[in-house]
Amino acid sequence: MTEHIKIERNDGILTLTFARPDKKNALTNAMYGVLADSLVAAETDPAARVIVMRGEGDMFTSGNDVGEFAAIAAGALQGERHVARFVRALAQSTRPLIAAVQGRAVGIGTTMLLHCDLVVLADNAQLSTPFVNLALVPEAGSTLLMPMRIGHARAFEMFALGDTMDAQAALNLGIANRVVPLDRLHAEAAQIAARLAKLPAGSLAATKQLMRNPAALTAQIDAESERFAARLNTAEAREAFMAFAERRQPDFMKVA
């Protein structure tokens, strides 16, 4: 368990809140563990008809905890990597998934949105996937889902250059359903969740299953995970993590 994920159940809605605002909701192994367990348990919980994911503080999440990336690369973090279970659970979930996003959604903060069925963005939302900047590769099935959603050219640019995409662009490209003023974000997500919770859950699950292909996604996730793990142990990645810790820009040109 970790206090960094808050879990609430109300009127058929399961709300999972990233609650580590002092670290911009950077996701740790323990947080992924709770998220994975919650998504898996929801599959057989009749009281979890809809799932909302959100973040406390000024941003949705700054993505994976970069310190943990560095610890894994140094062999200092042993044991099960719950991120893999979380990503699989996202890909296999039959419950409608809603995300309410304010501020930044970095890395997996953006790629998890591709698994969500409804994405509500605050007008200050900024999505980015700076995996290559960290000398890694995109994950969570995003190498399949992002090109499908926004086209290869835009997806490659987003992955390779790591630039941020604002809320309006994300809406225009079909990553999000709507953009609302920041102070309306959680009310809007709650309103949509309440509407979905009243619909026939079996019909929603079947609709979602027809629209998604968990088997293909899981195969892509496995391929990405293999590359990702290998990348963590490269000199390029070590330079990226060191640069983050030292609050400087990485210099990949000096890496042989």
Question: In the complex, what is the shortest distance from the CB of residue 132 to ligand COA, in angstroms, rounded to a whole number?
Answer: 10
Q: Is 107 in the site for ligand COA (CB under 6 A)?
A: yes
Binding segment for ligand COA (CB under 6 A), chosen from 22-30, 71-79, 176-184, 188-196, is: 22-30
The correct pick among 15, 29, 38, 64 for binding ligand COA (CB under 6 A) is: 64
Token pair for 156: 């490659």
Q: How many residues form the binding site for ligand COA (CB under 6 A)? A: 15
Tell whether residue 66 is a contact of ligand COA (CB under 6 A).
yes
Binding range to ligand COA, per CB under 6 A, among 18-26, 84-92, 93-101, 227-235 = 18-26
Does residue 42 touch ligand COA according to CB under 6 A? Answer: no
- Whether the CB-CB separation of 195 and 35 falls below 8 Å is answered with no
Which residue sits closest to ligand COA, CB atoms considered?
107
Taking Cα atoms as reference points, which of 12, 65, 6, 13 lies closest to residue 34?
6
For ligand COA, the closer CB: 38 or 142 = 142
Q: Which residue blocks in the chain are alpha helix, DSSP H?
A: 29-42, 66-73, 82-92, 108-111, 142-150, 152-161, 167-172, 185-197, 201-211, 214-232, 235-245
- Angle ∠(195,199,200) on CA atoms, nearest 5: 165
> What does the alpha-carbon distance between residue 181 and residue 123 come to, in Å, rounded to a whole number?
5
**How near is the Cβ of 103 to ligand COA at its closest, in Å?**
8
Query: Which 3 state secondary structure label does DSSP give 44?
Result: coil
CB of 249 to ligand COA, least distance (A): 11
Minimum distance from CB of 84 to ligand COA (Å)?
15
| 198, 142 Cβ separation under 8 angstroms | no
Binding ligand COA by CB under 6 A: which of 32, 60, 86, 131? 131
* DSSP calls for 138-150: --TTHHHHHHHHH
Instruction: Please list every residue from 189 through 218 that binds ligand COA, using CB under 6 A.
Output: none
Q: Which is nearer to ligand COA, 26 or 217 (CB)?
A: 26
> Residue from 96, 130, 141, 250 that binds ligand COA (CB under 6 A)?
130
**Torsion-angle region of residue 247: left (phi > 0), alpha (psi -120 to 50) or beta?**
left
- List interacting residues with ligand COA (CB under 6 A): 23-24, 26, 62-67, 104, 106-107, 130-131, 134
